[in-house]
Amino acid sequence: MISDRSPPQWLDRVAAKSRTIIRGSVVWSIAAFLVLPTLLVIGMSLSSESYIQFPPREVSTRWYIAYLADPQWMAATALSLKIAFGVMVMSTLIGTMASVAFVRGCLPGAELIRLLSLSPMITPSIVTAVAIYLTFSPIGLTDNYFGFVIAHTVLALPYVVLVITASLTTFDVDIELAALNCGASRFRAFFEVVLPNIAPGVMSAAVFSFLTSFDEATVAIFIAGAHQQTLPSKLFEDINSTLTPIIPAVSATMVVVSLILMGLLVAVRARMR
C-alpha cells in the first residue's frame, strides 16, 4: 500500500520564497543592466576635468554650462525640439486618422496597409536612412526642416498607430453607436465621445512620437547638412572629432528631457483616471 504524503507546509513556504527571490533577482539584474550605462554617463558629465573619466574626482557642472553657452549646441538643440514638436503634431494627426480607418472603417486591404505602416519599425534604420536620403536628395529635402519632419514622421507613425489602435479596440463601440442614434454626426461623435475616451492613448502616442524624433540619429546623420543639424547628429559628429565631457553632458540632458516627458505623461494619465 503506497501512502500519499504531501510535502510539509514549511517546505512549500521555502519553495515559494525561493521562487520569489529568484524572480526578483532576475528582474533587478535586467533593470541594473539597462540603467547602469545611463548612470555612468551622468557620472561622467559631472567631471571637472578636460577629459572623460569615471568616477569624477570632483563634481562640477562645468560641462553643462559649456553646453548651454555654446551657440552650435544650442542651435542643434532648438532644431531638434522644433522638429520633434512638428513630428508629434503630424504623426498624431495622421496616426489617429489611420487608426480610425483601420478599426472603424471598411477599408479594402486594411490589414495589409496597417502592416505596411508598421514597416519602419521592422526595417533596419540604416536601410531606411539610405532610402530616405536617395529619395529626398534629388528634390532638395536634405538639410531642410521639412525634410526632417517628414522623415521622422515616417519613423514615429508606427508607434502612434499601434497605441491608438489598441485604445480604439478596447473602447466600447456601443457608446459611439448610442451617440449616432441620438443624432450626432460621425464627426461630432468622434470628437465628443470617442476622443475623450481614448485621450490617454493619444497622449501616449504623442509623447512616443516626440521622443522618437528627438532621439533619432541614423536618418538625421544622412539628411543633416551644414545649415540644419539635429542634436543627435551633432553628438555623433563630435564623438568622432572631439571627445570631450560635453558629450556626456548633452547625453544626460537628453535622458532628463525624456524622463520629464514620461513623468508628465504618467501624472496626467493618473489624474485623468
Give the C-alpha separation, 162 to 181, whole Å.
29
Give the C-alpha separation, 129 to 224, whole Å.
11
- Any idea which residue has 550605462 for its cell? 37
Mean pLDDT of 81-87: 92
Q: What is the pLDDT of residue 35?
A: 78
Alpha helical stretches, state H, 62-215: 62-69, 71-104, 110-117, 119-122, 125-136, 145-170, 173-181, 186-189, 195-215
Topology annotation, domain 64-272? MetI-like fold (1.10.3720)
- Any idea which residue has 512616443 for its cell? 208
Lowest mean pLDDT among 88-92, 124-128, 189-193: 189-193
- Any idea which residue has 521562487 for its cell? 19
Instruction: Provide the greatest CA pair distance for the chain.
Output: 89
pLDDT in tens, 129-188: 888 888 888 888 888 888 889 989 988 998 898 888 888 888 777 777 787 777 777 788
pTM: 0.81
Amino acid at 205: A
Q: What is the pLDDT of residue 6?
A: 57
Residue 59, helix vs strand vs coil: strand
Give the C-alpha separation, 246 to 47, whole Å.
10
Q: What is the pLDDT of residue 137?
A: 84
Domain ranges in the chain are 1-45, 64-272
DSSP string for 83-96: HHHHHHHHHHHHHH
83 falls in which pLDDT band (50, 70, 90)? very high
For residue 3, pLDDT over 70 is answered with: no
Looking at residue 47, the DSSP 8-state letter turns out to be B
Q: Helices 110-117 and 71-104: crossing angle, nearest 10°?
A: 170
Compute CA distances 143 → 128, 155, 238, whole Å: 17, 18, 18
pLDDT in tens, 4-53: 555 567 666 777 777 788 888 888 888 888 778 777 877 777 777 777 77
**Degrees (nearest 5) of the Cα angle 107, 108, 112?**
100
Contact between 219 and 128 under an 8 Å Cβ cutoff? The reply is yes
pLDDT in tens, 223-241: 887 777 888 888 888 777 7
1 falls in which pLDDT band (50, 70, 90)? very low
Give the C-alpha separation, 121 to 156, whole Å.
9
End-to-end Cα, the chain, rounded Å? 61
Give the C-alpha separation, 91 to 43, whole Å.
35
